[in-house]
Structure 1
Amino acid sequence: METVSVNRFRENLKAFVEEAVSTHTPLKVTRRAGEAFVVMSADDWEREQETLYVLQNSSLMQQIADSAATHRKGEGYRPTEGEMDEITGIRG
C-alpha cells in the first residue's frame, strides 16, 4: 500500500482519489500529529465489509468448510446439464 503525507494528498486530491478508484489500490495518508487514514473506493470498502462479515460468522464458515470437505470427497449435489446452462447462461 502506498503511503503519502496529508499535505501531498491535499495537493493532489483528485489524482489520488482517481487512482484509488480505478486501480482498486488503497492509499494510506499519514498526518503529522495524528492517526493515519486510508482512502479506497466505495466498492472495495463494501467488498471488504462483506468478507469480514463472512469471516466473523462461525455458522457461514462452518458451511464453507463442510462444503469444501464434501467437494474434496467428490460427493454432494451435482447440477444437471440444464441447471448448469441456466447458472452459466451459456445456452438458452
Structure 2
Amino acid sequence: MMDSVSVNQFRSHLKTLVEQVINSHLPLKVTRRSGEDFVVISAEDWEREQETLYILQNNALMQQIVASSITHTEKTGYSPNAEELDEIIIL
C-alpha cells in the first residue's frame, strides 16, 4: 500500500516529500478533492517500471526467460569454460 497525502500537504511539504520518494523508491499518492488523484515517482523508478513493462509485454523475451529458467533449474544450460570465466572476471 502506498503512502497518501492531500494535495495541500504535498504543496506544503514538497521538498521533503519529493526527497522521501526519491530516497525510499516508493511512490506517493497525492489526493485531490476533485477525485483526480496523481502519483509521484522518481525518474529512476519510472524508467525501471517502463523497462519491466516492456519485458512483460514482449512474448519473445518472456519465452527466453522461461526457457533460461528451465535450463538453469535442470542444470542443462550453457556453462562457460575456465578461460571464458577468467575473461568475465577480469573485465
Whole-angstrom distance in 2 between the partners of 1:86 and 1:27: 44
Instruction: State the match for 2:49 in structure 1.
Output: 48
Question: Structure 2: any 5+ residue segments left out of the alignment?
Answer: none
- Distance 1:12-1:76 versus aligned 2 partners, 3 A rule: same
The TM-score with structure 2 as length reference comes to 0.89
- Distance 1:16-1:86 versus aligned 2 partners, 3 A rule: farther
Instruction: State the match for 2:74 in structure 1.
Output: 73
Question: Structure 1: any 5+ residue segments left out of the alignment?
Answer: none
Whole-angstrom distance in 1 between the partners of 2:50 and 2:11: 27
Percent identical across equivalent pairs? 60
Runs of 4+ aligned structure 1 residues displaced above 4 Å come to none
Whole-angstrom distance in 2 between the partners of 1:12 and 1:86: 51
- Distance 1:31-1:86 versus aligned 2 partners, 3 A rule: farther
SS of the counterpart of 2:39?
Answer: strand
Whole-angstrom distance in 2 between the partners of 1:30 and 1:86: 53
Q: Size of the alignment, in residue pairs?
A: 90
Instruction: State the match for 1:4 in structure 2.
Output: 5
- Deviation at residue 52 of structure 1 after TM alignment: 0.5
SS of the counterpart of 1:38?
Answer: strand
- Distance 1:33-1:72 versus aligned 2 partners, 3 A rule: same
Whole-angstrom distance in 1 between the partners of 2:29 and 2:38: 6
Whole-angstrom distance in 2 between the partners of 1:40 and 1:66: 33
Q: Which amino acid aligns with 2:59?
A: S
Instruction: State the match for 1:31 in structure 2.
Output: 32
Whole-angstrom distance in 1 between the partners of 2:68 and 2:81: 18
